[in-house]
Structure 1
Amino acid sequence: MTDARFLTLSDVAEVLNISASQTYALVRSGELTAIKIGGRGQWRVEREQLEAYIARMYDQTRQFVAEHPFIESAADQT
């Protein structure tokens, strides 16, 4: 699996540690780029697209953290 250019949705779910249905939702929403191949129209995600998605999620998380700094409440400080 590590050398494969294209991954199944199950492979992607395993890498991201999410369910197959969550992976399908990412693909159908366009958040994760994928292609549909074969007569049965099976989804495949190119490894580069998965890595790009992961990088985008890191960027979005960094931005979220910067915009929403963690502040301990008074109850946590006692």
Structure 2
Amino acid sequence: MNKQTFVATKIAGVFTVVAASVGNVYAALPLGAATAFTQIQTDGLELIDLAWPLAIALTSAVIVLGLFKKFAKKAAS
């Protein structure tokens, strides 16, 4: 067995162990914790939905001010 095959085999083995462990850890999560994580995710998504209008307004304002500055500079010269 050459070195490259040996390393690839070890990486595949580690990946398999990690994937199996993640499945087992999630399965052992208590119902209360799962509910709490779901609520946190829902609250986070609601906050993101509230932030989008502000982000769009700020981005639009920066673009408009940049264009105003550009055209004001052209008009002054």
- Shorter-normalised TM range: 0.3 to 0.5
> Looking at both structures, which has the greater relative contact order when contacts are Cα pairs under 8 Å and sequence separation is at least 6?
1
Give 1 or 2: higher helix fraction.
2
TM-score (norm 1): 0.35
Instruction: Determine which structure has more spread, i.e. the larger CA radius of gyration.
Output: 2
